[in-house]
Structure 1
């Protein structure tokens, strides 16, 4: 079955494909254990940088044995806590074997750095993909993407693992043509024990659940709130809780008040709004679980959605949303660099 339909160079997602169809994995799942004191350069050629974040740098690389292209996340550690965080991420990734979750290939602990080799995903971020001029955004397409996210999260939750950082940047497209996605970045992921209390103070404010910003117990329901926010943005191009800064955003999240009274939602079906309403529930125990989300009418009865309706206004607003997020990330990067420079200069002065 073809993954896309072409018409006048425009890209339509094949909205009838389910997450189980045409499963593609780049390599067989491997039993990955961290190799100690082995130089990864003996087995892999490290190539140019692909990107970097707060907790590491990702490079393109090749397996010298079979010439397979991969991505490798390299994280330097000076403290035991930093090392444990990366070891936890590798351990969790190694236990997840699902077509909609990024595959781990190999791992090393060498020279005070941890190396995590993973499949290379080249389709770009989901939101970047759907705002492309040649992409036709419809409600059915949105449901197809959200269904895959829920499928991956339901699998994770069945293994008592919670992601805790679901956001647009962590949902990648497998290619620039098909409709397959992959969940990435398990740096904040945790194993969950329902008999133990767990609170966290990390994540992205805009997509964090009320229990996170209020420092209350978290659980699988915390991921479901984030899916609700992603769905709201994908269908409307608007963010339900974002404020002028993180403090205002967290305040908005804590009240859990949002609205569908925007023009973007005029073309959105009642069943899609019902899906969001069952996720953006402040009381976590009443929030829809992943297994129930997959049984929701919006995800299983695509024929009930308006056929072929293009969400033009949503796409226009999504473009603005993506540009604004790029600007914010760039501004934060500049602020971070300036802070490092100030700390560095202060250190030099104090040691002069």
Structure 2
């Protein structure tokens, strides 16, 4: 600016640099000689596109698996070394690992300007020398009743830990060849104890090869121990996306037929599962096509003369009647089976919205389609199978028995069923589900909290006054997990 006037110019500067470290710590799932590693992206990409992720591995000394991550220095543990670079993926399978060795993993993000700092290390995982043979899952579990858990069983290792308990791999002292899983649940409150005892009663009444079997239970003043068969195959969805597995529609038929067999048996025992989802369908072994339905923490025994209303479940898989707080039925499970089938065939979640409220809205309108290109190679019989399950009125849905008689589940010889199904979208679905589980606040994980207990379910006043979704979104935020 001067006495004769003014002029102006502008410039913009883009400041770029290496990205931030990937969020959180990687999640891991174990196979006989391999480990699948999944992680989240960085919160900031450095101002430009992420070009890949570097996976680093650390082999721990034999005595170190239970030592906290920050207690080991690189000198003590042999240090970290790079094992792979991954592009356009948030998962990687590390193969040909040494049995009886313990590993940790971490991930770095990179762009054109360089690499990020490493993520937090994963939990340590020890590979076992051998897998339990398939035959062990077909023979009946024989465990004597009575006695004290600690005297009867030797704890071999911790398998997992959750809000309500810890799961261990255990060995019966009188029968060393029999390897089982023991879930130790703290039960300080009478209400918590009652819920666990109800789950035990339900599992005792379910004797079927497609359902997780309870071998024994032990009760003490402060905890309950549930001893169950030990399953080594991991989640079904993680198995079918592994590098060494080629998923076809024929495989999907085999898996869904087994799911329907297990669900049909439950329903003949007047029991509804109410939490069917991919995480609750497991494989016997890493090489087996045999599955098991697990987790009966939300299961209920239904009396058709007494309407039961519930308000819990996993948002993507719950049926419309739960959202509308209407009476549930055996076909409530079949809606979830339809969603599982849709996801397995396409890798897409049929009702997933940007928020839980959007998801609930899509479910109540039964708003889904087969327009995505992922369904181009899926047979019409498979689409018809799904369409007869994702029906708004539960009375109009196929039962599990009807599913087993369907054209899709009974066909085996069609050559088109051998066409390979692309699992890229299914891998992203699995990563998103794991990310959601790590990001949920504590109250979202309390999926076993009942909106109303059994006595309330049997109360005629509740039956006369349903609680529609528009009046209880606060309850959804508290109780869906």
Gaps spanning 5+ residues in structure 2: where?
A: 1-133, 446-481
Could you give the per-residue CA deviations for residues 32-62 of structure 1, whole angstroms, max 9, x where no partner exists? 87x5xx5310101123221233432211111
Rounded to whole Å, the distance in 2 between the matches of 1:190 and 1:80 is: 19
Could you give the per-residue CA deviations for residues 62-92 of structure 1, whole angstroms, max 9, x where no partner exists? 1111112111111111222211111111111
Give the equivalent residue in structure 1 for 2:434.
326
Rounded to whole Å, the distance in 2 between the matches of 1:261 and 1:167 is: 23
Matched position secondary structure for 2:304? coil
Could you give the per-residue CA deviations for residues 127-167 of structure 1, whole angstroms, max 9, x where no partner exists? 00001011000011001000000000001101101111000
Please give the root-mean-square deviation of Cα atoms over the aligned residues, in Å.
2.2
Rounded to whole Å, the distance in 1 between the matches of 2:387 and 2:272 is: 21
Give the equivalent residue in structure 2 for 1:163.
273
Contact 1:234 1:318 in 2 (8 A): yes
Give the equivalent residue in structure 2 for 1:110.
220
Greater Rg by CA:
2
- Deviation of 1:245 after TM superposition, in Å, equals 2.7
How many residues align? The count is 312
Rounded to whole Å, the distance in 2 between the matches of 1:297 and 1:23 is: 31
Question: After alignment, is 182-191 or 73-82 more displaced?
Answer: 73-82
Rounded to whole Å, the distance in 2 between the matches of 1:276 and 1:182 is: 21
2:442 to 319, 336, 343: 336
Gaps spanning 5+ residues in structure 1: where?
A: 1-21, 340-352
Contact 1:26 1:119 in 2 (8 A): no
Give the equivalent residue in structure 2 for 1:219.
329
1:242 to 334, 349, 352: 352
Q: Cα–Cα, structure 1 residues 114 and 222, in superposed 2: closer, same or farther, change >3 Å?
A: same
Contact 2:335 2:389 in 1 (8 A): yes
Q: Cα–Cα, structure 1 residues 61 and 158, in superposed 2: closer, same or farther, change >3 Å?
A: same
Could you give the per-residue CA deviations for residues 247-300 of structure 1, whole angstroms, max 9, x where no partner exists? 222222111110100000000000000000000000010000010000000000
Contact 2:138 2:209 in 1 (8 A): no
2:363 to 240, 253, 256: 253
Matched position secondary structure for 1:306? helix
Matched position secondary structure for 2:338? helix
RCO higher in 1 or 2 (8 Å CA, sep ≥ 6)? 1
Matched position secondary structure for 1:267? coil
Superposition misfits of 4+ residues, deviation over 3 angstroms: 22-27, 29-33
Q: Cα–Cα, structure 1 residues 60 and 97, in superposed 2: closer, same or farther, change >3 Å?
A: same
Rounded to whole Å, the distance in 1 between the matches of 2:355 and 2:295 is: 24
Q: How does 1:284-323 map to 2 (within 5 A)?
A: 284-304=394-414, 306-312=416-422, 315-323=423-431
- Deviation of 1:307 after TM superposition, in Å, equals 3.7
Rounded to whole Å, the distance in 2 between the matches of 1:137 and 1:121 is: 21
Rounded to whole Å, the distance in 2 between the matches of 1:64 and 1:162 is: 35
Q: How does 1:1-352 map to 2 (within 5 A)?
A: 25=137, 27-28=139-140, 39-67=148-176, 68-304=178-414, 306-312=416-422, 315-332=423-440, 335-336=441-442
- Deviation of 1:24 after TM superposition, in Å, equals 6.5
Contact 1:208 1:225 in 2 (8 A): yes
Contact 2:389 2:398 in 1 (8 A): yes
Could you give the per-residue CA deviations for residues 330-349 of structure 1, whole angstroms, max 9, x where no partner exists? 112xx339x9xxxxxxxxxx
Structure with higher helix content = 1
Rounded to whole Å, the distance in 2 between the matches of 1:201 and 1:282 is: 17
